[in-house]
Structures are given as structure tokens and as C-alpha cells.
Structure 1
């Protein structure tokens, strides 16, 4: 039997022995704070009988406790939870060392509830992020991230402390788990976005405040984006060669993160396009990855029994900072989306999909120069040759 279960038994035993202790608990200890359904049902019944002014709760302090207090509590609670036998209240009474220590036992129950609640909501955020990663969405991740933040604030209020983020000491800093693997579609989105920015650098003005290098899952793409932003801030020209030179200056070619062929391929000027959609896609993918890592770190903190509830809440709020930053930048990216242009397609025609641009990246021919040359020099038909023959 764990100390938490013993604390739950002790506080209920104290209330059976001295119902007047409810006045010291009812404002901050709630039935949902108990981990076992039977204990939750017993405590909820006691609160109900108190509200109904049961004779045991209105008796003078220190007076005898009527037997009806035990039998009525047991009868009412048995309608809501199984496993409550007539002997169970006596087991609870024997588990209570001192009835007047009920508030101390109640704080133990509340501490266990705080730890359990943080772990449960962190697990829900983790599951939501995994589901959104599979579905290519972020709605569930955004919802559960906000729920976790609100829960931490409410738990701080319940514990009687302020919701102040605090950086955990090195000994309690959660270890970062390896990031989820980058999908082929995600890599295509990142590369096409960089190609759009390299061919039309003016689009960086729309993305530089919502898109950071760490939003790119691929390390090589991170370096290319850093080079693009650096050239943009210095007001220097941006093309295949300048980006390649900047990545070389930053050591990305020397350490093997990138090679010159890949930089030229990604920054191909023939593959330009609008970057807004793919910028949002990259930030969304970053949100899901960050939520996965954050949920694991918060869950690891909740497993630290040595952390007091106030410390756990403060450290968990600090751990949420990177996720909150990505959420804010995603809102910025969505607010910066341009108004949709009127379609020139006939009514009923399918709208062009931005995914087709990413498909172009994956299906690009290796010899881009040859393709460009064949496109630039139109083939003259036999009719044209007959029309333009020299006169005899």
C-alpha cells in the first residue's frame, strides 16, 4: 500500500471519528482529489451530509459521534461505488493515527492529486501531438496545450501558491527525448519553402517574425534558413551562390550538415512560388514536435516524488515556455495570411492545391539546366520550317 492510499484512509478515518474536521477541509479538498473511487464516494457523501446538516456534523466538538454518521455515510456511498463493506469504515478508523491531524492528511491527498493531474494532462497532450502528427493537423495539440496550462494555473491556486514559472535546477532538468522522425512530406515542405524564399527573398518580410530556424526539423534546412535570414538582415543579394557562400562561412559545409549540391538544388531559382502556406506548415510541424517533447518533460517532472507541489507547478510552467512561443508564432503566421485571390478557374473546377508544388520538388528531374534550356528554346514544327524556307 502506497503512502498516498494510507493518507486517503487516514483523512477519511479522521472524519469518521470527528465529523467536525470537515469544516477544516471542505473549502479546498474535493472528492476528485482522491485516487480511489470508493474513497472519493465516501468523502463526497460526507460533504453532502454536512450540507444537509446531519446531526453528527452539528454536534458539539468533542462530543460522542452518533453511529448513524457511519451507517448513513456507508449506505449513501455504496450507491455510488462498489466494494464498500460494513467493516471498511472500521479499517479506515484504524488507519488514522490522530483525528486532529486531518488537515495534514488532506494536504497529502491534495499533493497526490496535483502530481496525478499534471501527469495525466501531460500524457493527453503527448497523445494529441502524436495523433496530429499522423493526421497533419494541430487542433488537438493546441487544445490540450491550453488545457495543461490552465490546469497548472488552477492547481497553483488550489495549493495556495502563485503560478510563477521557475527554471528547474540542473538536477531536476528533464532530459530531452529524441525528436520524432521527419516524414517525407515534411522534408518536402521544408525544402520547397526554402526554395520559395531563395527565389523571392521579399517573402522573408512576411515570415521572419513567425518562423525560426529551430522550426525546421532537418539540420541542413535550419542552416540554409539561417543563411537566408542573415543575408536578408544585411541587405545583401540572395541567390544560389550567395546562400551557398553564407552556409560555407557558417561552417555548415565543413561539418557535413550540408553539401554544395544540396544547397544549389534547394535554392533552384526555377522553382519559386508563394511561401505563406508552407511557412505555416513548417510552424505547425514544429508545434507538434515541441508539444511531444514538452509533454514528456512535464511527465518526467510529475514522476519526481522529491518535488513539492509548488515546485512541480513552477517547473512545469517554465517547461511550457517553448511550446507557448511556437503557439504564439503560429497565430502570427495565420494572421499574416493574405486575402484569397479570386479564382480564374471555371465554376466547379477543382482548386489548385499547394501540395502539387511540393510534389514538384520530389519529382524534379536531376538535370534542371537541360530542362530549362529545352523550355526556353521552342521546338519548330515541320509547318514552321516549310513556312520559313528560303526562296529558290
Structure 2
């Protein structure tokens, strides 16, 4: 006879099992409920360090309700009743049986400091993961009036969390996260816009090679397409050598570097380089801004991946996060050079003052003095 499932029979199968930190929190709370004086041995955590609302409320109650006399506490549950009543103001689902269960699952109350250190480590991991998620979300927020400034502010906030975790868990040299880094991502619309603007950058730089010197802060790696990155390197090389620059000379340099081996047609390259518009500085700044935001997103995703792997220790997370944040710092320095922004104090958002660039070839001769920076 076929088995008939009763309603909700398999509901428990859809509930993921608790993570190890949940059991650690139970052991710590059980130790403090059984022997409240161990609260003096616990440091580095607060109520917010716990992973569930019930445990948060319970630890807050344990920390605030006056401690009982040890002899009296061994005889009755008066203090436990007070702790429960206080905790239920924030977590109404707490019950007396759960408190007694916590006491029962605690292996050794004297191990409370070790349990607290584990709770602190897991909280540090969650803080890094949350900060990285906010950074990635900010990169994709199209409503921001000053996206670079806001993104750099989130990067600074994340760096401050990393510093705080490092103070609590000093990193060990050479201990890197074992997690595989996620590959860079880019939306189709962003890639199309980037390609168009990079083509304008290359064409305008070909028409006005003397302006390339003013955008030394722009590197080939800032361009999104390999062909565009290679053509920009051709342009900067020819300009540095003070050799003639026009679509034909750039095409020849590209051939010497093997850039056409990917199937790019010479006619298409010549056509692309022959349609300048606006100014080199404007398109260069646009390209650098896109590179900075892409770097910030990749940094956030790297740290998110590191923190999402529970096998990584806080020491590894600090080392990995600092290496990832160094990529943002490098692009940030060049952004400040490009925009003339004054470097802000450490861990503060960088300002982004920029003037409106000329938008036509005719206006090129009258562009602002920003080109002399």
C-alpha cells in the first residue's frame, strides 16, 4: 500500500540544521545560567554577537539582571525566573524548559571564555560578510548622485570593520583564505555602454595625442575589452615615443603587438579610431570611474566569498580582506589624481569634484584648465 504523507509531515526536512556556532552559543549561555560568575571571564562579545534573537535577548538579560548569591542560586530558580522574564520582553518565545535545556547541553561551565571567543569569531565573520554585501549593493545603486564618493565611503566602513577584527584577532603572516575568488562580473548593459565610451576615448586620443599626457592616471587595465586595453597601450606608447599618431600608425602598432590576432578587422579598427568626440579627459575619467566601481564590486564579492566560508578563521579573513581592499586603494589614488580631489583622512570617503567636460570636437580647443593638472 503506498505511503500517504500527512500534511506538514516533511516540514522539518526543509529546515536547515543549526550551524556549529548555534551549539557554541547554547553552551556559553548554559554556562552563564548555571554559574553566572563566569560572566566576569567573558570578554569581546555583546548581546549583538549572537546569531539568534532569542540568544541575543537571553545574553542581554544575563548581563543586566543582578547576579544571585551562589549559595541561593544552587537552591532555587529565582534568578533564572528573573532572567527569563527580562529576556521575554525581547523574545517572547523563550520558555523555562529552553533555559534548563541550555544548562543541560553545556559540557563544562568553566570553558565559558573559550565559548565566548568562538562566538566572537563567528560574529566577526558575519560583520565582514554584511559589510561586503553593503559595498556590492552600493555599487549597483543607480540612484546615487555621487556613486564614487558613496562607494568609497562604504569601502572605508568595511575597512574599519576589518581593522576592528584585526585588533581582536591579530592576523598571522602568510595565512590566506582557502576560498576560491569569484570571477569579475559585468552586466550586458554596462559592457555595451563601456565599449561605446571606450571607443570614443580611443578615437579622441588618436585625434588629440597631445592630451594623452594629461591622463597618465588611466591604465590599460581600466578598459573593459582586451582590444581596447591594447589600443590604449598602443596610443600611450606612441605618444611617449613622440612618434606620429593617427589611425594608421595606431593600427600598425596594434598589429606589431598581435592585437589583431583575435579576429579584429583592420577596417573596423580604423573606423573606430576615426570618430572622435568630446575630450580625452572626459572619457578617461568616465573609464576610470567605471574601473573603480568594478574594482569595488569585485573586492566586495571577494570578501563576501571569504566570509561566507566558515572554514576561514578570523586571521585568514583579515589577511584576505586587506589584500582585497588594497585594490580599491590603488584605483582610488588614481581617481584623486584624475579629479583633483584632495585625499581625505584615512577611513573617510573621498570627495569627487569634477567640472563638466566639453562634449563636442569643436569645443575641444576651449576645454577647461583641468587638462593641465
Aligned to 1:214: 221
1:134-166 Cα shifts (integer Å, max 9, x gaps): 99943442232222221111112233x15x886
Shift of the 184–305 alpha-carbon distance from structure 1 to 2, 3 Å rule, reads closer
1:221-262 Cα shifts (integer Å, max 9, x gaps): 111101111112223222222211111111001232x33223
Aligned to 2:314: 309
2:260 aligned counterpart, secondary structure? coil
Query: What's the TM-score, normalizing by structure 1?
Result: 0.76
Whether the 8 Å contact between 2:191 and 2:224 is mirrored in structure 1 is no
Larger radius of gyration, structure 1 or 2? 1
Q: Could you tell me which of 198, 218, 231 is aligned with 2:238?
A: 231
Aligned to 2:78: 68
Aligned to 1:259: 265
Aligned to 1:29: 45
Distance in 1 (CA, whole Å) between partners of 2:30 and 2:294 is 47
Distance in 2 (CA, whole Å) between partners of 1:55 and 1:47 is 9
For residue 39 of structure 1, report the CA deviation from its aligned partner. 0.7
Aligned to 1:5: 22
Distance in 2 (CA, whole Å) between partners of 1:45 and 1:279 is 57
Whether the 8 Å contact between 1:216 and 1:286 is mirrored in structure 2 is yes
Distance in 2 (CA, whole Å) between partners of 1:166 and 1:320 is 17
The within-5 A match list for 1:40-79 is 40-49=56-65, 54-56=66-68, 59=69, 64=74, 67-79=77-89
Shift of the 355–16 alpha-carbon distance from structure 1 to 2, 3 Å rule, reads farther
For residue 92 of structure 1, report the CA deviation from its aligned partner. 1.1
Shift of the 62–207 alpha-carbon distance from structure 1 to 2, 3 Å rule, reads farther
Distance in 2 (CA, whole Å) between partners of 1:247 and 1:167 is 42
Q: Could you tell me which of 277, 288, 291 is aligned with 2:293?
A: 288
1:238 aligned counterpart, secondary structure? coil
Distance in 2 (CA, whole Å) between partners of 1:192 and 1:5 is 55
Aligned to 1:154: 164
Distance in 2 (CA, whole Å) between partners of 1:69 and 1:356 is 78
Shift of the 82–259 alpha-carbon distance from structure 1 to 2, 3 Å rule, reads farther
Aligned to 2:324: 319
2:90 aligned counterpart, secondary structure? coil
For residue 214 of structure 1, report the CA deviation from its aligned partner. 1.2
Shift of the 303–184 alpha-carbon distance from structure 1 to 2, 3 Å rule, reads closer
Q: Could you tell me which of 193, 204, 211 is aligned with 1:203?
A: 211
Whether the 8 Å contact between 2:49 and 2:123 is mirrored in structure 1 is yes
Whether the 8 Å contact between 1:191 and 1:221 is mirrored in structure 2 is yes
For residue 324 of structure 1, report the CA deviation from its aligned partner. 2.4
Distance in 1 (CA, whole Å) between partners of 2:80 and 2:155 is 43
Aligned to 2:33: 16
5+ residue gaps, structure 2, are 1-17, 342-351, 362-373
The within-5 A match list for 1:35-184 is 35-49=51-65, 54-56=66-68, 59=69, 64=74, 67-132=77-142, 137-159=147-169, 161-162=170-171, 168=176, 172-181=179-188, 182-184=190-192
Whether the 8 Å contact between 1:133 and 1:285 is mirrored in structure 2 is no
Distance in 1 (CA, whole Å) between partners of 2:194 and 2:359 is 11
1:87 aligned counterpart, secondary structure? helix
The within-5 A match list for 1:176-195 is 176-181=183-188, 182-195=190-203
Distance in 2 (CA, whole Å) between partners of 1:61 and 1:259 is 89
1:80-113 Cα shifts (integer Å, max 9, x gaps): 2231112221111112111000111112211211
For residue 199 of structure 1, report the CA deviation from its aligned partner. 1.5
Whether the 8 Å contact between 2:24 and 2:118 is mirrored in structure 1 is yes
Distance in 2 (CA, whole Å) between partners of 1:18 and 1:355 is 73
5+ residue gaps, structure 1, are 341-351, 358-392
* Number of residue pairs matched by the alignment: 333
For residue 71 of structure 1, report the CA deviation from its aligned partner. 1.7
